[in-house]
Amino acid sequence: MTSGLDALFITGTPVLALAPMQDVTDRAFWELMTRYGGADLYYTEYFRVYPTSRLDKPILDSIIRNPTGRPVVAQMIGNDIPSLVRSGKELQKHPAAAIDLNLGCPAPVVYRKCAGGGLLRDLPRVDGILGALREAITGKFTVKTRLGFDDERTLEVLLPLFRKHAVDLVTVHGRTVLQMYRGGICHDLIALACRELSCPVIANGNISTPSDAAEALASTGAAGLMIGRGAVRNPWIFSQIREHLDKKPVSLPTGRDVLAYVRDLYETVCTPDVPDPKQVQKIKKYANFLGEGIGPEFLHDVRRVTTKTEFFALCERHLDHDRPMTLKPSSAAY
């Protein structure tokens, strides 16, 4: 297994990663992102791991046929140690820069099964999983976590476990599992992780603009940033952050640029032979994130369209203009 992680972090330039979002940030979406500037590091959607599981072929394809030209991290989610060890060993046979354990997914359907963020309620099991995976994975082993399940100070107990098992990279989303995506980010606790861990730490959560990125880096001391919803909403964000950090003028898309992105997105994620209503349901997964940056009227109306014609008529009504757009979300949740 080859690793490009070391090369990314030795430059001292903040590493920008695209967050894993299940059924959203797939191989096709990665390829689209590269046309808009792209991230430095990509994480796969999670491989669901359990006793009878097999590596998900479409997700595995994103590693084997990586279209980005950048390092890819393979992420696993599960709680059964033998199964995680088996899957970790299998993934090492493929060109992933690292194998990652998900300790942060806040979806109730996941955490109720004591997987993802649900594992943060069972730290002895986390300890056992980390130890087994560290022994099994000969290359880079990384973790993506939240602060805790319902108590943000759980992170203070997690950090010694990450040190104990020599985790190579930790991404910290600065909320608890039960917070989901509500409320602010605890930059002070991400900063604590940066101080106490010898490995690089990536900060995750609420990065929607270049100024958000600069503030997160300054207040945490993180070696990089992970962006998910913000990149779906604004595919230019990685390039904009680089411009801002280089003290260059930040390039803003016009409404028509955003409209062109929506058309690209539709062509990328929607399968032509699928009935129109199902295609529209698929694009709504993305349009809900995009709508946060367009405005409440768009967000309200896009949830009610049922055909491709209605969808693009709505997009044209809101985006057929030459005014620059920050695509910064206005929702109180951000």
Positions marked catalytic: 105
Query: Quick one: which of 67, 65, 61, 33 has its CA closest to 45?
Result: 61
CA 276 to chain centroid, in Å, comes to: 28
81-84 contact pairs (CB < 8 A, 24+): 81/128, 81/129, 81/132, 82/51, 83/49, 83/50, 83/51, 83/53, 84/49, 84/129, 84/132, 84/133
Q: Is 171 helix (H, G, I), strand (E, B) or coil?
A: strand
Residues 6+ apart with CB under 8 A from 140: 3, 5, 97, 98, 99, 168, 169
Residue 147 to residue 120: CA distance in whole angstroms: 9
Residue closest to 88 by CA, chosen among 127, 143, 125: 143
Cα–Cα distance between 178 and 174 in angstroms, integer? 12
* Single-letter amino acid code for the residue at 130: L
- Residues near 58 by beta carbon (within 8 Å), at least 6 away in sequence: 26, 27
Alpha-carbon gap, residue 291 to 233, rounded angstroms? 8
Residue with tokens 């698929």: 282
DSSP state letters, 108-158: HHHHTTT-GGGGGG-HHHHHHHHHHHHHH-SS-EEEEEES-SS-GGGHHHH
Give the residue carrying structure tokens 């940066």.
194
Contact 22, 102 (CB under 8 A): no
CA pair distance 327, 174, nearest whole angstrom: 22
